[in-house]
Structure 1
């Protein structure tokens, strides 16, 4: 497999480390970085990158990435990168994996991704990331009568840099406080670095408008806790996952990295599970 990555941050570095640890080998590995950041990206990712492939390169433009001929491009960057880089790759006929799922809260972006995949004959895969049970949620949706409520509970400082700062004193919070209740679309729009799970659940289930979301800052939270309840004509269930935060970025659940790695390993075959 020829593997491409869009992004060179925390998830990218951890992902390459996991793949290397699993003995994954790629025919070549190509990474897209921001213009001017090529050297920094190369130095950061080279150790794990060269463990995965003897051919490792960093590019500053999506055109260069496409020209390198990847079989699969994995977006591990930002909502902006989804629009500027993943869409052209899909249009060029390259299968893609989307990690910044919250970008699809913007209806225009969702439509553009779908159109690009159709135009290029490519497949866009959305990884579950930090949440589980997405297979059963998607199956329950087909049965009708779907109601979904999702609660995101994280330590107060995990909400630093978000609108929660204007609602709570995160540094001194001594009890759990709900600071957001509303639709998955608004949650993913207002908290783009924290609401990928809300977006994933919405896409697999009741949709962005009808998926209800609660966000809680809780000093007693054991990590990034994701819990959602599903009611449908086929089955009812509740799932709770206590994700361990990434050591380099507490806003990211470490399980996200392993979810993306699983998807790449499945794509490489010979058996997918």
Structure 2
């Protein structure tokens, strides 16, 4: 039996909780939430699951922790979890655009002899990108196209009128570090691509609001010594959160369930 704790209690976390409940080889031993908001976490969790505002507050030490929250969850809890020698799996790739946090997590993982693993999330092709990096990548471009509702509460609102859009409009062009910092709830994909490929500063990003979109569309293009490739996926958002991809939740579940597979795709 593997004992699992989860950071967060939003749409992705609830999806993962349901998957764990269906297994007899996994046990949800705790939920880590924000101090002062633990009642919100309690409302989402089974009565038998412990709730705490830090991993050290859980009555049972988890075998691993799944970060299903936003950047703040990884920043607030990641170093302590890794330093305690507990492996951490996260959907918050964008938080690593902060160089200081990246270094703090790396140092904590070394101290605890633990590992931080970023799940693939809403994008594919990261295995090809990582392999191509070994031979030399010359260019990596990510384009993210989502319906206007998915960009509410982001800097896109200051650049275009999301309520009156008649056609697709680009509201951001820059690199992955800038995109991850400005769009923490929308652009984790850009950070995953940067980590797998040529880094935050060299990865080109274009973000588009498109009223014709009914799904979130991610496009990855890469060129290098290996040749070139283009990958595109149209993914649906979580029903109760238009900013979260259903594939992100599914990728966390898939990662968790494959941990004990004797044979797996590397």
Q: State TM-score, norm by structure 2.
A: 0.94
List aligned pairs for 1:192-203, cutoff 5 A. 192-203=184-195
Q: Distance in 1 between matches of 2:85 and 2:42?
A: 26
**What are the ranges of 5 or more consecutive residues in structure 2 without an aligned counterpart?**
none
Q: Distance in 1 between matches of 2:65 and 2:24?
A: 16
Aligned counterpart, 1:3: 4
* 2:52 is the counterpart of 1:59: yes
Q: Distance in 2 between matches of 1:92 and 1:272?
A: 28
Following TM superposition, where does structure 1 have runs of at least 4 consecutive aligned residues deviating by more than 6 angstroms? none
Paired residues, what number?
264
Aligned counterpart, 2:14: 13
State whether residues 182 and 214 of structure 1, in contact with CA within 8 Å, keep that contact through their aligned partners in structure 2: yes
Aligned counterpart, 1:36: 36
Aligned counterpart, 1:188: 180
Question: What is the CA distance between 1:124 and its match in structure 2?
Answer: 1.1
State whether residues 24 and 265 of structure 1, in contact with CA within 8 Å, keep that contact through their aligned partners in structure 2: no
Q: Distance in 2 between matches of 1:99 and 1:92?
A: 20
List aligned pairs for 1:167-246, cutoff 5 A. 167-246=159-238
- Deviation string 1:194-238 (CA, Å, 9 cap, x unpaired) is 110000000100100000000000011131100010111113110
Q: CA RMSD in A?
A: 1.6
Q: Distance in 2 between matches of 1:43 and 1:207?
A: 39
- Deviation string 1:6-38 (CA, Å, 9 cap, x unpaired) is 1111110112123435x3532452111122333
**What are the ranges of 5 or more consecutive residues in structure 1 without an aligned counterpart?**
none
Aligned counterpart, 2:26: 26
- Looking at secondary structure, tell me which structure has more helix per residue: 1
State whether residues 20 and 28 of structure 2, in contact with CA within 8 Å, keep that contact through their aligned partners in structure 1: no
State whether residues 175 and 201 of structure 2, in contact with CA within 8 Å, keep that contact through their aligned partners in structure 1: yes
Aligned counterpart, 1:135: 127
Q: Secondary structure at the match of 1:182?
A: strand
- Looking at secondary structure, tell me which structure has more strand per residue: 2
- Deviation string 1:170-214 (CA, Å, 9 cap, x unpaired) is 011010001110110000011111110000000100100000000
The worse-fitting range, judged by mean Cα deviation, of 257-266 and 79-88 is: 79-88
Q: 1:29 to 1:272 in 2, by over 3 A?
A: farther
